[in-house]
């Protein structure tokens, strides 16, 4: 009877935290516990409810790994769409991967010029929609702008400013694009561009994270402080994972370029 009374006294607190327990996946009360709530009774559930504080303190210790959270997206869909946030972060990673593949290769092929964006008076277009790209020799690419001669100057500028270390020369409607020799200096230049592209992608990733965190903070007066904290931590974990993937891509590309 005394045990039951003690558990009953903590009923309001347990009810308040029951949603948090579901969010964080805390275990159910063990068999025989007189308080059949997700957080258990005041005796057996006390340590579980303090797991946030203990994990935070433990993470401060040298060499300790921070506790991870894994919130069910369905339980917080009224606050934020976590799946959409993850997709936005992964889109930034995929864009970096595509940039590495198209623009940062030791060997330049006709296909590498296809998606260079040309700004014309009629809008922005990929180079391969305005000109015919071919390879005359291993050291020379040709862009024939006969179909859109008025865009020759814009196409030449776009190639020069593409970040691919190319120096095109226009002759009428023909643009000649000499291929740089694969020197050590050229390899190092491409490696620097890879680093710059990664930094830009990480900045884009931070914007996605900040947008998501701001969305969560809009509900700070509607849900518990613990729920906000857990969501922010989940979003940060997603961002950290994407950033780590970018670092791996950069390391692999740098090794490919420098050997």
The pLDDT tens digits for 91-114 are 999 999 988 887 787 766 677 788
> Where a domain ends, among 128, 162, 178?
178
Residues 15-26 pLDDT 10s: 444 444 444 444
- Taking the model in full, what pTM does it have? 0.60
* Number of structural domains in the chain: 2
Q: Are 126 and 174 contained in the same domain?
A: yes
| Structure-block tokens of residue 91 | 């889109």
Structural domain including 168 reads: 110-178
Q: How many CB atoms lie within 10 A of CB 192?
A: 12
Within a domain: 155: yes
Within a domain: 150: yes
Burial of 98 per CB tally in 10 Å (0-12, 13-18, 19+): exposed
Within a domain: 234: yes
| Structure-block tokens of residue 116 | 């260079």
Q: Are 98 and 117 contained in the same domain?
A: no
Q: Above pLDDT 70, what percent of the chain? A: 72
Of the candidates 54, 46, 59, which has an alpha carbon nearest to the alpha carbon of residue 7?
Answer: 46
Q: Are 119 and 226 contained in the same domain?
A: no
- DSSP string covering 169-220: EEETTEEEEEPPP--HHHHHHHHHHHHHHHHHHHHHHHHHHHHHHHHHHTTT
C-alpha to C-alpha distance for 190 and 196, rounded to whole angstroms = 10
Within a domain: 45: no
Q: Are 167 and 189 contained in the same domain?
A: no
Q: Are 247 and 187 contained in the same domain?
A: yes
Helices (H) and strands (E) in the chain, counts: 9, 6
Q: Are 161 and 211 contained in the same domain?
A: no
Q: Are 254 and 188 contained in the same domain?
A: yes
| pLDDT class of 89 with cuts at 50, 70, 90 | very high
With 70 as the cut, is the pLDDT of residue 150 above it? yes
> Where a domain ends, among 178, 201, 225?
178
Q: Are 96 and 210 contained in the same domain?
A: yes
Burial of 90 per CB tally in 10 Å (0-12, 13-18, 19+): middle
| Range 16-20, long-range pairs (CB < 8 A, 24+ positions) | 16/224, 17/49, 17/224, 17/226, 19/75, 19/224, 19/227, 20/224, 20/226, 20/227, 20/230
Within a domain: 19: no
What is the CATH classification number for the domain harbouring 139? 3.30.1360.40
């Amino acid at each position: 009877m005394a045990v039951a009374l003690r558990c009953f006294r903590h009923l309001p607190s347990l009810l308040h935290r029951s949603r948090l327990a579901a969010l964080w996946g805390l275990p159910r009360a063990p068999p025989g516990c007189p308080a059949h709530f997700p957080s258990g009774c005041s005796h057996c559930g006390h340590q579980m409810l303090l797991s946030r504080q203990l994990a935070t303190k433990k993470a401060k210790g040298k060499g300790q790994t921070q506790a991870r959270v894994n919130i069910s997206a369905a339980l917080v869909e009224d606050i934020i769409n976590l799946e959409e946030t993850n997709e936005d972060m992964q889109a930034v990673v995929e864009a970096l991967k595509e940039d590495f593949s198209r623009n940062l290769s030791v060997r330049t092929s006709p296909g590498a010029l296809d998606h260079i964006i040309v700004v014309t008076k009629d809008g922005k277009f990929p180079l391969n929609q305005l000109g015919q790209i071919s390879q005359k020799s291993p050291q020379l690419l040709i862009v024939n702008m006969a179909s859109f001669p008025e865009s020759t100057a814009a196409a030449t500028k776009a190639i020069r400013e593409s970040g691919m270390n190319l120096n095109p020369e226009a002759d009428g409607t023909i643009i000649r694009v000499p291929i740089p020799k694969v020197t050590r200096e050229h390899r190092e230049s491409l490696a620097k561009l890879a680093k710059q592209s990664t930094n830009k992608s990480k900045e884009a990733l931070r914007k996605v994270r900040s947008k998501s965190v701001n969305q969560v903070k809009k509900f700070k007066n509607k849900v518990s402080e613990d729920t906000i904290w857990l969501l922010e931590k989940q979003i940060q974990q997603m961002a950290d994972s994407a950033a780590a993937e970018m670092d791996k891509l950069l390391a692999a590309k740098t090794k490919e370029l420098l050997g």
